[in-house]
A and B are shown apart, each in its own frame.
Chain A
């Protein structure tokens, strides 16, 4: 086993992670950060974000309006203090990215351009054509190369948070290239590992989105908050689930059913005059209702609706959303300049995550989290499109600074227990590599995907969630008996997949369990058996904690500052 020592151990090198790393090294002139990531940082899933990043930029806009839109979008489950901090820091963070070379699209006068997005009252979404996440991530990665004190451990897979005297003091992670376990020791740990969209069969999410950091925190005893809230994006390509950005509607695209109707206008789905720019939960529900009413188109991957862009014209499509055109042409053989794109709701984003305070701190001293992996929460029951890229920046930076302060104010322990834990991880990895057993990784993953889909789809009800939960619990049992065929220590991706599957099962269990017990409909959590919001009983965050005999569910209050709860109608 190898031992590496740094001040901060960061797991995850996407938008939030790199922002945290840069903030940490800038906060302290001598501090070093280990950036541990299971893939090269610029491959992280931030790269796939398309439409933009929200932050007040124009005179007709203000922070309170951004905050209100975000709270209303969240169906009033977001913490209002967190949202206030978020909207206030957003513009500065986006300008910071501009300083670091992000090629934001521009107005004629050279100012950064902004576009319309779902649930936002006015234009405030900064964008770099329709590859905003890609450009932000590469700007962050390239900027991070400036700092020798950001020490990258690329293609290292973290298996456990090391805890000593009740504090997080590092992680156990193995080098995928050699199979060798490393004890990555530090005085604080930050998790920026993204969400867990891969627990669902049909998702926009990259292969790496297996909830690793959420699972690490969960097993270290930290609560996972609001896990039942899974965002279904209304415009994914059937089959692949590839994301067609909301910016295509922000730029004026229409959604139409098989009767040629703009159904969001034709029927009452609660989005009012916002029509196609309603929030994602409402638009996804509307599409599902259209399917139920027989107004969807039939395809080999189920029903779909049409996203029409033809009226925008080739020039605007090429200028504003060229990637949409490229994706539609490549993956469904359709040129949106001439034909509508088939789209349907697809699992996209987890509003829930590791329970943190406003600085990304968790209940485990020394452990911080940011980005999709975390739940601060600014997204509540439904995130507004383009808030998450900004969230990565704002709370990535805050957690980086907070973790640097924590590291500066604490001393290293004797490392004895931490090294023991890492050694025990080394043995666990070795056992897994040669493990004989009757169950197959791919098979369990498929069954897990079916269980989450039937239990926690766009519409949910008691019986299917109970069945889903039973299945997940059974799969957990069967997972203990998986067999692996690859004995190699060198770039053994079967071992990685086995560990990821273990993480996915734990996360799926927290999702279905939280959903089952939230007997109301709020934001993205829509129950056919409890169709209305119930503030009296459920205006609270769910919190799931690990226990040896199964997860424990509790609740914690939502923080309110200046906004009263109202009915969510647009």
Chain B
């Protein structure tokens, strides 16, 4: 067995059938040098306390399942190396979401918000499949590519100060996704997304704290997407720009 070092973890536990409120439980876990927090959680689950519940799958930072708060900061636990922490490591479920159990939060509102911006290609006319792909230059692709990198991990929702007080706020990932489709040269759905984006709990609620972009593990920069979307939608509002694609 390779060398291990003992780390102390404080993990938030909440079992709704028996707990009135969440409590921290402490575990001492021998960790290998290259372990991430998720490895430690799995070690707890396997060998110390099988009642711990948490979500995970790909353990390579792309499925978006394992976001939690580590020492208060939203992060993918599969990318949070234990060696980068000193002292006790505190693991909690993502903030701004109701806790279902332990480290598992209720993501239904998040999924609903994603759906509400119509994140699919909308066109008046479709070219026949047999006619091949729509041409899109590398520059046109570059326009929206960054905003298509979102893995739906919801870290930005946990970090957003607006969501902390206004749970109905559409939120960074959904707005960035709407913006991604609006910027796609193949899409003509801008007008259909306009009302959702500009509703009372839409993009104008953003206070530009930039927390979302700070925690985004994929450098999507949703804060930038929101500011760009505000500008284009404001211009639409005053009819400087038509409600369609601008590329």
Contact = CB atoms under 8 A, between A and B. Distances in A.
Interface of A: 39-40, 42-45, 47-48, 92, 95-96, 98-101, 103-112, 131, 134-135, 138, 142-143, 145-146, 154, 177, 206-208, 239-240, 242-243, 300, 323, 326-327, 330-332, 441-442, 484-486, 488-494
A226 B215 CA distance: 45
Contact of B62 (A100, A105, A134): A134
A145 B120 CA distance: 8
Contact of B120 (A92, A143, A208, A239): A143
16 contacts: A39-B57, A45-B58, A98-B134, A100-B121, A103-B148, A105-B141, A108-B138, A109-B137, A131-B149, A142-B120, A143-B121, A206-B58, A207-B59, A485-B50, A486-B53, A493-B45
Contacts of B2: 300
B129 interface: yes
B101 A142 contact: no
A442 B129 contact: no
A490 B101 contact: yes
Contact of B184 (A101, A135, A143, A146): A101
A147 B62 CA distance: 25
A490 B184 CA distance: 41
A101 B51 contact: no
A486 B51 contact: yes
Interface in B151-182: 151-152, 177, 181
Contact of A134 (B51, B101, B141, B151): B151
A105 B136 CA distance: 9
A145 B65 contact: no
A491 B187 contact: no
A489 B53 contact: no
A42 B64 contact: yes
Interface core residue of B17, B64, B121, B135 (most chain A CB under 10 Å): B121
A174 to B, nearest CB: 15
A441 B101 CA distance: 21
Given A40-B65, A108-B138, 6 more contacts: A95-B133, A101-B187, A108-B137, A131-B62, A206-B59, A490-B101
Given A108-B137, A111-B133, A488-B51, A101 B121 contact: yes
B57 A106 contact: no
Given A47-B62, A48-B60, A491 B53 contact: yes
Contacts of A99: 121, 126, 129, 134, 186
B193 interface: no
Nearest to A204: B60
Contact of B79 (A48, A111, A330): A330
Contacts of A323: 62
B50 A43 contact: no
Nearest to A97: B133
Contacts of A489: 17
B145 interface: yes
B137 A177 contact: no
Nearest to A445: B46
Contacts of B47: 442
A474 B101 CA distance: 35
A47 B50 contact: no
Contacts of A486: 50-51, 53
Contact of A207 (B57, B114, B140, B144): B57
B57 A208 contact: yes
Contacts of B231: none
Contacts of B79: 330
B36 to A, nearest CB: 9
Q: Which 10 A-B pairs have the closest CB atoms?
A: A110-B135, A442-B46, A491-B101, A486-B51, A142-B119, A206-B57, A43-B63, A206-B58, A101-B121, A98-B133
A434 to B, nearest CB: 13
A492 to B, nearest CB: 7
Contact of B136 (A106, A327, A492): A106
Contact of A441 (B50, B104, B119, B177): B50
Contacts of B149: 131
B15 A243 contact: no
Given A145-B115, A442-B47, A47 B145 contact: no
B199 interface: no
Contacts of A110: 135-137, 140
A154 B126 CA distance: 31
B204 interface: no
A154 B61 CA distance: 21
B141 A106 contact: yes
B57 A101 contact: no
B241 interface: no
Interface in B52-105: 53-65, 79, 100-102, 104
Contacts of B135: 109-111
B51 A491 contact: no
B21 interface: no
B61 A330 contact: yes
A246 to B, nearest CB: 16
B59 A106 contact: no
Nearest to B64: A43
Contact of A138 (B16, B65, B144, B148): B148
Contact of A101 (B62, B107, B150, B181): B181
Contacts of B184: 101, 103
A503 B134 CA distance: 43
A330 to B, nearest CB: 6
A145 to B, nearest CB: 5
A99 B129 CA distance: 8
Contacts of A331: 34, 60
Given A99-B126, A106-B138, A242 B54 contact: no
B139 to A, nearest CB: 9
A93 B150 CA distance: 24
A95 B132 contact: yes
Contacts of B234: none
B133 A48 contact: no
A484 to B, nearest CB: 7
Contacts of A44: 63
Given A92-B129, A111-B133, A135-B148, A494 B51 contact: yes
A447 B149 CA distance: 38
Contact of B15 (A39, A330, A490): A490
Nearest to B17: A488
